[in-house]
Homo-oligomer: A and B are copies of this chain.
């Protein structure tokens, strides 16, 4: 999915249907540039050229370079939260749901690593109001994981001394995948997800 890094999260974007195709191309070019070079090292000329337009065309579809980043970041976070919620809310006991959560969380960060890098490592470049929205979403993700661990501990399925630290470790493992995973990685995203699911369950002291 490297060729279309935002294909997965495109449907979650507001107004995705009505938006002209050029806006989509700009968004895609922005994701790739921001992920590879970082927000500040990316120029509006980079983005526009990659989308096959002149720099001025960018401003017809987006208010600013920062607005592009905000849109990517918010959509990416919303998609991640949705994924986490779906996995945590599905059937099964705490261990089964946690395995599913970690598998999907990890797989997403490996497959959508391009979006993942922008989402996780360009937060500091967000305008203040966009950052506030995104920070709330990140908190929700963290809370979802914490709640599931808490539930597992209460049910006797997990053995964890510090729930918050454990939750941090779980999300941290997944997020960092988007940093180190590359095209050259030999493990497929799903395979990595399965292995990480196993490791996390052991980490949480789940009875296997």
Residues of A within 8 A of B (CB): 36-38, 40-41, 120-121, 124-125, 161-162, 165-166, 168-169, 172-173, 175-177, 179-180, 187, 192, 195-196, 198-200, 202-203, 205
Contact = CB atoms under 8 A, between A and B. Distances in A.
Closest 6 CB pairs of A and B: A40-B40, A172-B176, A176-B176, A203-B203, A40-B41, A165-B195
Given A169-B173, A173-B169, A173-B172, A195 B162 contact: yes
A96 B33 CA distance: 44
Nearest to A177: B172
Contacts of A196: 165, 169
A203 B198 CA distance: 9
A121 B124 contact: no
29 contacts: A37-B124, A38-B38, A38-B125, A40-B40, A40-B41, A41-B125, A120-B179, A121-B121, A121-B179, A161-B195, A161-B198, A162-B195, A165-B187, A165-B192, A165-B195, A165-B199, A166-B199, A169-B173, A169-B196, A172-B172, A172-B173, A172-B180, A173-B173, A199-B203, A200-B203, A202-B202, A202-B203, A202-B205, A203-B203
Contacts of A198: 161
A149 to B, nearest CB: 12
- Most B CB within 10 A of own CB, among A37, A125, A180, A199: A199
A36 B123 CA distance: 11
A205 B200 CA distance: 11
Nearest to A37: B124
A124 B176 contact: no
Given A38-B125, A40-B41, A121-B179, 10 more contacts: A36-B124, A37-B124, A38-B40, A161-B198, A165-B199, A168-B180, A172-B176, A172-B177, A175-B179, A203-B203
